[in-house]
Amino acid sequence: MKSLSFGNRTYIMGILNITPDSFSGDGLLNQTDLLQAARRQALDFIAAGADILDIGGESTRPGAQPVSTEEEMSRVLPVIEMLAALEADVILSVDTYKSEVAEAALRAGADWINDVWALRADPLMAEVAARHHATLILMHNRSKPSNAQLEERLGGRYVGIEYQNLIEDICNELLESVRLAQLAGVPTDRIILDPGIGFGKTVDQNLEILRRLDEFKKLGFPLLLGVSRKSFIGYTLNLPPDQRLEGTLAACVIGIQRGADILRVHDVEAVTRAARMTDAILR
């Protein structure tokens, strides 16, 4: 498995959406030959500079319908098995909040777990990560369907989300998830934090998180940033998901400047180039 040395450069996580309803329009489940399409996209991402591939079988966009454990596994496991067989120099991450899916994915060849509910949806997730010695990404999330607002052209966003102190509240909730992970036996050096841009935050709150991202570095963990094509960019620029590349690049560059270690993105080639240039200037 590829070894990462945080602080030396920015790492790129390419998104493989094994769904029919991704907000970004890149869901692979509608492809005639899913495995071939996933293989082609993965190899393109690796060639373009991806260090990690994040494979997810359930859309987390505002307003998305949940899928069953069985359905999610039927989507992601064949893809993970196929990618693991390639023996490429890339880390495989499973994007799930269900411990049963994570367990099966790790057995199929995944290396990391990307939990968008930071152990709050399934408390058994930490035990699975500890048992398999898997790196665990803990993402902050306050998403509620009642706060989701959908607009046909720009997609979903969250409104009316209140925090007493935005950054402090997110930090405290992430540290509680860290405590749960450590109690289950996950080593500190296998925990990565994600402030959860777009998950239960308004457009302005997302912009503030990005502006103050360096404050999360004080928690002492590597930081993953997921801004790619998200609605806070769309609502800021009044652009649909397929026209958000420049906004994504701007947010990624600011993220690197503020301390992001990993960028989770759809546009791997463009972001890799921007990240390498930013690293050359800053690092």
3-state secondary structure of 259: coil
Identified catalytic residue from 61, 120, 230, 244 = 230
Per residue, the 3-state secondary structure of 20-52, as one string, reads CCCCCCCCCCCCCCHHHHHHHHHHHHHHHCCCE
Decide if 264 is catalytic.
yes
What CA–CA distance (Å, rounded) separates 128 from 114? 12
Is residue 232 within 8 Å of residue 206, measured between CB atoms?
yes
Q: Which two tokens stand for residue 54?
A: 């994040």
Burial class of residue 165, CB neighbours in 10 A (0-12, 13-18, 19+): exposed
Q: Which residues of 48-74 are buried (b: 16+ CB within 10 A; e: fewer)?
A: bbbbbbbbbbbbbbbebeebeeeebbe
Q: Which of 264, 273, 276, 283 is catalytic?
A: 264
Catalytic machinery residues:
230, 264
